[in-house]
Structure 1
Amino acid sequence: MTTVDSGRLYGVGLGPGDPELMTVKAARLIAAAPVVAYHSARHGRSIARSIAASLLREGQIEEALVYPVTTEQTDDYRGTIEEHYDSWAARLAAHLDAGRDVVILCEGDPFFYGSYMHMHKRLAHRYPTEVVPGVTSISGAAAVLGRPLVERDEVLTVLPGTLPAPDLAARLAATDSAAVMKLGRTFPAVRDALTESGRLAEAWYVERATTSRERISPLADVDPSTVPYFSLALVPSRLHTAPASPGSDVADAAAPACTGDVVVVGLGPAGRDWLTPEALAAVEAADDLVGYGPYLDRVPANPRQRRHASDNRVEAERAEFALALARSGRRVAVVSSGDPGVFAMAAAVLEVAAEPRWKDVPVRVLPGLTAAQAVASRVGAPLGHDFCVLSLSDRLKPWDVIARRLTAAAQADLVIAIYNPGSRSRTWQVAEARELLLAHRSPDTPVVLGRDVGGSGERVRVVRLADLDPAEVDMRTLLIVGSSQTRVQERDGAPPLVWTPRRYPGTD
């Protein structure tokens, strides 16, 4: 048990490196402490001690907590380091038991990726303890970069570079601003994640911020072999447009054009349950939502966002509008039903974005669950073998092209998923398609009709190809025409099961 005369433990944040960025309280405690502890690598040099060096005085007891391993490989890193944490805690406890106050120095803030927290866990429940916050390295980096981290209702995400690159990329893509800590050996993976997320052009590299060894550079220009652990990647606020101070070299270097981005998002075939987490995050992070009115209606209203609905026949205009918003600094989500790359907005946006005037606007495409997948799932696995996807709409391609492709797919014995089979103004295509298919398929070929799958008007039927009634088909219906191998199993009191075996006749 600890006596009432025990010393007091202080976890003291030193700030990002400049000794003048320590708080007055931190400086007072360091100067007065009987015992000052700090972490260091095996070479004995301690960044924390160097920051506080001017405050240390003769007669103080210094406890160097020397890490036995750092970046090198070891069979049991966690076990080795935990043993040393326990040993260090015991050393400091001996001082506290003797009535001596102990200050543990910590770069940045003690509770922000700080080494101090390991001593806090072991000692704070046993001794009077106080934590003195410090300016974080992120705040220091933003200050020397001369760019705000976040403005208005933007979201800042702080990430360790040790996360797997796919996780980093997903989180970077879904946030407004970001800081990635713990670079060093992780730098190549972090750069790959920034590239994958479309954020590399916005990212800045800041090393040893606020010190005499400070380095700032666009992250894309940094040689990975030169990156130390005490550095970070910063993706600052996209909203900041203020000019740099005249004559400031650092501010001039740190003021790229303020550009938003366009992300084309697949909402899936119906409601929120069919939306991927990645797509949901992108929609929620957007400043502006652009799309066909009924699709926008599927996104819950958010007063922070502006919504721009338009008719379904103005895809190029919609794409241009979204790109213009992004160039003005807005984060824009263009929404599509299903998957945006399947008869939807991705191609339209990319076609317009390929024009030279939009070359500096970042564009990403996020996948969605397709209508074909949704309809197939309701009856089993009709898409279990080779299949193709066709649209019967002759609005953007002539019917003779559609007829040739439909015939070729029928002759190739492919399962066929047919989008846009009919509408109020297109009433004859389904009957024509049925006749083209019957020229090469058995009348008993199963056809799945899926309407509004996932919605309130969902209706799914399985009929023979010969019995396909065009009157049952509208723009919200998707057809899946089986191949010669597609099977149907009738079930008492339940919808039939439809599947196409993965093994084709003639294989071993």
Structure 2
Amino acid sequence: MTVRAVEVIAEADVVAYHSARHGRSIARSIAERHLRPDHIEERLVYPVTTETTDHPGGYRGAMEEFYAEAAARLAAHLDAGRTVAVLAEGDPLFYGSYMHMHKRLADRYPTEVVPGVTSVSAAAARLGKPLVEGEEVLTILPGTLPEEELAARLMATDAAAVMKLGRTFPTVRAALERSGRLADAHYVERATMDAERTAPLAEVDPESVPYFSMAVLPSRVELADRVELADQMEVPGQVELSGQVDATPEAARGEVVVVGLGPAGPLWLTPEARGELAAAEDLVGYTTYLNRVPMRPGQQRHASDNKVEAERAEFALDLARRGRRVAVVSSGDPGVFAMATAVLEAASEDPYREVPVRVLPGMTAAHAAASRVGAPLGHDYAVISLSDRLKPWEVIAERLSAAAAADLVLALYNPGSRSRIWQVGKARELLLAHRTPDTPVVLGRDIGGPEESVRIVSLADLDPAQVDMRTILLVGSSQTRTVRRGDGTRIVWTPRRYPER
């Protein structure tokens, strides 16, 4: 208890506290030694906790009626000129029952909220582990969330506290396991109380878990520091991308996860991808993409040029053979003209056949650009890369002509670069053989990034000089429409219904 809390109790005429029907109150037991015989005690007994109710409004209706009645009882004391102290374990406005009184009374009577030590802070203190360090993010979650939602949020955060366990414990445990974080989770029961208990969460019997307990995922920094120290002891020096990683058949195999970063910043990074990036011991990728991933203690980063995909893939797999947990980063979706193919191609051959490989999806540039103008990909569409670095231009031209003849919307990746300046003009010629000159074309550049630009032009007016490697082209079909909205903006959409022939 804080000094101010003790003072408030001493000054109060009435001491109120919530309790279940059994009559015991944790808040009262905490403050008991500060209560006086002349205190008027108002016990606010919940009509229902976890059991069912026959109230016509169901559980919510029963609780709303209770809170209204409890507030009226406290208001009667206040109207009589008495000072009321409402006890709340932890902090009054942190998942506390007091907040329901506050919402009903604070606008009518002078109110002081005395902050308290939350159960999360108490749990961390009892574990003796930092909750967060540096720029880490702490997420507080109620265990009553669905398993899938819990897992997604656990993947996306650095540190977490999951409260309200009890009957939710099996769901919380499953979510921790699903998010790959069960091994790092701690269990804390009744922190700072007489019946306090702490343990690795994976070892806790679900039948023994009360409501007043929580799961804690503390700072990753301490764990990363221990891993880094162990690595320094076992493998001196830093691994270079240009070298072969020492791997032996006896070495514990790790894993390679190919992660899609989306086309731009963190808003389009999935929780699953965020979690894998945080959990990785090694990050491998093109320098520009690696720079988009936040630095984390204990991680090693292996950056390389954009034209060494095969070498990058083998390097990542070699790290995994040495027992490392490796994330290979890729812009957009890793399976769309990106690193997933290179990693899987290498993983299909010896000596990498046994290395576990997973691919996590990401937002791809075509979908990102389409969202900025409406729904140009609302019907059938084809995705084609204009880069002839890995396939002959003759193949590209045949596919462009076939897709255009089939009246498909086209998403054209890798349209141009400093060394490839003629492909866009040639593609325009091929497409005009099948499309009208006024066919809408969307030019999306750096979508989601600081230099984002989106323009809509006609196919006849498509200027190759305005296209570079950071641009994606969306070419409409014969059915694609452009409309100017009431606010002056233009939208592009392709109807889902195609006319009968």
Matched, 1:390 2:392: no
Partner residue, 1:463 = 459
Single out whichever of 83-92 and 30-39 deviates more from structure 2: 30-39
Query: 1:143 aligned to 2:125?
Result: yes
Q: How does 1:56-455 map to 2 (within 5 A)?
A: 61-71=40-50, 72=52, 74=55, 75=57, 77-92=59-74, 102-122=84-104, 131-162=113-144, 171-184=153-166, 186-187=168-169, 190=172, 199-219=181-201, 227-241=209-223, 264-268=260-264, 276=268, 292=286, 310-315=304-309, 334=329, 336=331, 338-345=332-339, 365=360, 367-368=362-363, 370-371=365-366, 374=369, 382-396=376-390, 409=403, 414-425=408-419, 442=434, 444=436, 446=439, 448=441, 450=443, 452=445, 455=451
1:159-209 deviation line (CA, Å, top 9, x unaligned)? 334557676556544432222323345556655665676655544343323
What's the secondary structure of 2:135's corresponding residue?
A: coil
Conserved in 2, the CA contact under 8 Å of 1:389 and 1:418?
yes
Q: Output the CA distance in 2 between the equivalents of 1:149 and 1:480.
A: 47
Residue 229 of structure 1 aligns to a residue whose secondary structure is coil
Return the offset for 1:425: 4.5
Instruction: Report deviation, 1:224.
Output: 6.0
Contact 2:440 2:458 in 1 (8 A): yes
| Distance in 2 separating the partners of 1:78 and 1:317 | 60
2:404–2:435 contact (8 Å) kept in structure 1: no
Contact 2:415/2:468 (8 A) holds in 1: yes
2:21 is aligned to: 42
Q: Give a deviation string over 1:29-85, Cα, whole Å, max 9, x none.
A: 768977543211123233334445566676765432101122336525445434433
Structure 1 residue 141: Cα displacement: 1.7
Distance in 2 (CA, whole Å) between partners of 1:94 and 1:376 is: 57
Residues 5-34 of structure 1 show CA distances to partners (whole Å, capped at 9, x for unaligned) of xxxxxxxxxxxxxxxxx4577568768977
Q: In structure 2, give the amino acid aligned to 1:207.
A: E
Which SS does the other structure have where 1:159 is aligned? strand
Deviation per CA, 1:82-110, whole angstroms, max 9, x where unpaired?
44334334444555677766543322222
- Which one-letter code corresponds to 2:216 in the other structure? L
* Residue segments in structure 2 that go unaligned for 5+ positions in a row: 227-256
> Which structure would you say has the larger RCO, counting Cα contacts within 8 Å and 6 or more residues apart?
1
Structure 1, unmatched stretches of 5+, are 1-21, 244-260
| 2-structure distance, mates of 1:234, 1:403 | 57
SS in 1 for 2:459: strand
Greater displacement, 427-436 / 205-214: 427-436
CA–CA distance in structure 2, aligned partners of residues 24 and 490 of structure 1: 66
Q: CA shift at 1:434, angstroms?
A: 7.9
Paired residue type of 1:118:
H
Give the AA of the match of 1:417. Answer: A
- The CA distance in 2 between the partners of 1:238 and 1:353, in whole Å, is 30
Contact preservation (8 Å) 2:366, 2:474: no
Q: Distance in 1 between matches of 2:108 and 2:453?
A: 64
Cα RMSD (Å): 5.8
1:237: Cα distance to partner?
A: 0.4
In 2, Cα distance between equivalents of 1:221 and 1:398:
58
- Partner secondary structure for residue 266 of structure 1: coil
Once the two structures are superposed, what CA deviation does each residue of 1:120-156 show, in whole Å capped at 9, x if it has no partner? 4555677776555433211222233332101233232
Q: For the structure 1 residues 63 and 404, does the alpha-carbon distance in structure 2 shift closer, same or farther, using more than 3 Å as the test? A: same
2-structure distance, mates of 1:57, 1:125: 29
Question: Alpha carbons of 1:323 and 1:70: their partners in 2 closer, same or farther (altered >3 Å)?
Answer: farther
The C-alpha deviation readout for 1:432-455, integer Å capped at 9, x for no partner, is 8789989xx747595847363765
Question: SS of the counterpart of 1:139?
Answer: helix
2:222 aligned counterpart, secondary structure? coil
Q: Distance in 1 between matches of 2:203 and 2:405?
A: 54
Q: Which amino acid aligns with 1:48?
A: A
Q: Deviation digits for residues 415-446 of structure 1, max 9, x if unmatched?
A: 332322444545776688789989xx747595
Distance change >3 Å, CA 153–CA 419, structure 1 → 2: closer
- Name the % identity: 62
Aligned partners of 2:91 and 2:498: how far apart in 1? 64
Alpha-carbon distance between aligned partners in 1 of 2:359 and 2:141, rounded to the nearest angstrom: 21
Question: Structure 2 CA distance, aligned partners of 1:472 and 1:191?
Answer: 53
Q: What is the aligned length?
A: 451
Q: Distance in 1 between matches of 2:86 and 2:491?
A: 68
Residues 1:364 and 1:323: Cα distance change in structure 2 (over 3 Å)? farther
Q: Shift of residue 490 of structure 1?
A: 11
Q: 1:412 to 1:65 in 2, by over 3 A?
A: same
Q: What code does the residue aligned with 1:390 have? A: I
Q: Which moved more, 1:176-185 or 1:120-129?
A: 120-129
SS of residue in 2 equivalent to 1:106: coil
Is the partner of 1:140 in helix, strand or coil?
A: helix
Instruction: Report if the CA contact (8 A) 2:126-2:192 is conserved.
Output: yes
Aligned partner letter, 1:67: Y
- Contact (CA 8 Å) 1:286, 1:332: kept in 2 or not? no
Supply the distance in 1 between the matched residues of 2:90 and 2:307 (Cα, whole angstroms). 55
Normalized against structure 2, the TM-score is what? 0.64
Contact 2:170/2:206, CA 8 A, preserved across alignment: yes
| Shift in alpha-carbon separation, 1:473–1:357, aligned structure 2, 3 A | same
Alignment-mate amino acid for residue 138 of structure 2: L
